[in-house]
Structure 1
Amino acid sequence: MKKMQIRRFIVACLCIPLSSTVYAEDVVTVAWRIKPPHQYTVNEQPQGILVDRVKKVFSLAKIKTQFVEEPTNRIFYNFKNGRKNYCAFGLYYVAERESFAQYSKVFHRDPPQTILVSPAAFKLVSAHLTLTSLLADANLTLGVVDTSSYGPELDAMIKASKNKILRSTTLQANMARMIAANRASFMFVDRKDWEYLKKNDEHVRGASQIDLPDLPPSQNRYILCSKDITAAQMQRINKAIQKVYVATSDN
């Protein structure tokens, strides 16, 4: 009888780690940059379309998280320097990033970007009928939020552009203010970002929006995680994304 009790005790002890592995993992730091209406703060708490979505994803994946707001350059500094248990969300696919991080499945799909034009340059910019022509105009200045990606296709077009380039590590909202103040001729901006800014920021209201037929199509956004996030964790994240992504109506 005693031998049987001892055997049952050993079996029970061996089973405990197997049933609790999901909850024994380290807390994952989820970094995000300010980008309303997708990501912003209210009373020092993260809010927004993609914040709500990523919380659902990690909850369904049974991964404990702590959220930190960080600028883009710090996020990629952390990835490149091997920060452990670290993810960021709402990022475009850039092939070079796979050397220091891993991508989830598609987390969100943006509509095509649009062009924000300064008051002083509106006639010159609107005279161009294509994006190819616009980017070949050496008399115009393109404002670029440095360290951020505009998607692989647009990144390549910006790199080959003949425009003067005004680069800044500022937030996109601040770059929009610079356009409205005629510090650059035009910039690329997410449509939902612009809709939010023109309703909520009086300092951008001098700028105008134009579209051109050869603007790149919709872009996918992803969750990016450090290399130490396990295959099992990434699988749970991806399964959760599939559930949440299908359930949302703004993709």
Structure 2
Amino acid sequence: MKPRMLLAGLCGALASGALIAAEPQLTVAWRDKPPYHYLDNGVPTGFLLTRARAIFDSAGLNARFVSEPQKRIWANFKHGATNYCSISWYRLPEREAVAQFSQPFHEDLPHTILIAPRAAARVKAHTSLNSLLADPALTLGVVEGVSYGPVLDAKIKTSSNTVMSRTVETTQMMRMLTVGRASYIFVDREDWEYFQQKEKPGQSILHYDMPDMPPGLKRHIVCSRDVPQATMNKLNQAIAATGGIFNPGHSQPAK
């Protein structure tokens, strides 16, 4: 090879390496939602946090995982955060307006209902969601800033219940139910199972399933608009390579 051609090849290789090295680090935010992602004695853990780390590692992406409140995460997207991603979110039109979504990597089971004992008879008298949400004597506890899925969100918005909306995590909302602050709440089944194991509420909360509860929704990784399509492609390929979409109705991941 001629010296000039060799030099050109070396320069091209060095330039390519510099571009790879200069690829910006991604900040990947997760919210407190045990057992999906949470702190256990100060150590980040949770079955979806573990899965998300594996996806970013498999994609070969430089990622820094941080814990942030859910409202701050979406405020960051709305206000133009750069090189920013977050994990484990439902795909909704208002979110697609400010962020881009990966392929799904988890599918929830349908929500379930938890009831304060004093309201058990009145809640269980209803055999449909429409009937339940039309009862003005009931108080529904709602975690502000999260989505229960488009079907439940729409029903809650037009509900005749008294809606008690609080900026708390789901675990705290369940604690509020144990002391009768609300008549009932909607929760993910994994949240309820974890709460039972950790806090052993006994008869201070009752569990109830509605036959017309909407199907569980899929969860995605979301990233800010400036994240290149090539990076989103890497994430999608890594999701497929690490097992695709997980459905808890078929098998149970390690927690």
Q: Secondary structure at the match of 2:81?
A: coil
What aligned pairs does 1:51-62 form with structure 2 within 5 A after superposition?
Answer: 51-62=49-60
**In structure 2, C-alpha distance between the alignment counterparts of 1:87 and 1:71, rounded to whole Å:** 14
Which string of whole-angstrom CA distances, capped at 9 and with x for unpartnered residues, describes residues 60-119 of structure 1? 111111111111011011111111111111111111111211111112100001001011
Q: Which of 43, 46, 53 is the equivalent residue of 2:44?
A: 46
Task: Give the AA of the match of 1:165.
Answer: V
The alpha-carbon deviation at position 202 of structure 1 amounts to 4.0
8 Å CA contact retained: 1:85, 1:226: yes
- C-alpha contact (below 8 Å) 2:105/2:245 kept by paired residues: no
Match of 1:239 in 2: 237
CA distance in 2, matches of 1:42, 1:133: 39
2:110 is the alignment partner of 1:112: yes
- Offset of 1:9 from its aligned partner? 1.2
Q: In structure 2, what is the equivalent of residue 86 of structure 1? A: 84
1:57-76 residue pairs with structure 2 within 5 A? 57-76=55-74
1:32 alignment counterpart: 30
Q: Aligned partners of 2:61, 2:203: CA distance in 1, in Å? A: 42
Deviation at 1:42, TM superposition (A): 2.9
Looking at structure 1, the residues matched to 235 and 193 of structure 2 have their Cα atoms a distance apart, in angstroms, of 30
- The yes-or-no answer on 1:133 pairing with 2:131 is yes
Residues 112 and 216 in structure 1, CA contact (< 8 A), matched pair in contact too:
yes
SS at match of 2:117: coil
Structure 2: distance between partners of 1:77 and 1:140: 32
**Number of matched pairs:** 249
CA distance in 1, matches of 2:151, 2:100: 20
Whether the 8 Å CA contact 2:116–2:177 is kept in 1: the answer is yes
Aligned counterparts of 1:70 and 1:200: Cα–Cα separation in 2:
23
Distance in 2, Cα, partners of 1:120 & 1:178: 14
- Provide the rounded CA distance (Å) in 2 between the counterparts of 1:28 and 1:44: 22
Q: Is the 8 A contact 1:197 1:204 kept in 2?
A: no
- In 1, are the aligned partners of 2:117 and 2:203 still within 8 Å (CA)? no
- Work out the CA distance in 2 between the residues paired with 1:43 and 1:197: 16
Cα deviation for residue 43 of structure 1 reads: 4.2
Pairwise CA distance, 1:152: 1.2
Following TM superposition, by how much is the alpha carbon of 1:205 offset from its aligned partner in structure 2, in angstroms?
5.2
User: Unaligned stretches of 5+ in structure 1?
Assistant: none
Residues 1:76 and 1:204: Cα distance change in structure 2 (over 3 Å): farther
Moved over 6 A (4+): none
In 1, Cα distance between the equivalents of 2:20 and 2:104?
Answer: 23
Q: Which amino acid aligns with 1:245?
A: G
1:247/1:26 Cα in 2 relative to 1: closer, same or farther (>3 Å)?
same
| 1:190-201 correspondence to structure 2 within 5 Å | 190-201=188-199
**Distance of 1:68 and 1:161 partners within structure 2:** 36
| AA of the residue aligned to 1:149 | S
Matching residue of 1:178: 176
Deviation at 1:17, TM superposition (A): 3.2
Structure 2: gaps of 5 or more residues: none
CA RMSD of the aligned region, Å?
A: 1.8
SS in 1 for 2:147: coil
TM-score, normalised relative to structure 1: 0.94
Aligned to 1:157: 155
> CA–CA distance in 2 between the matches of 1:134 and 1:106?
31
After TM superposition, give the deviation of residue 21 of structure 1 in Å: 4.2
What secondary structure, in the 3-state scheme, does the structure 2 residue paired with 1:35 have?
A: coil
Identity over aligned residues, as a percent? 43
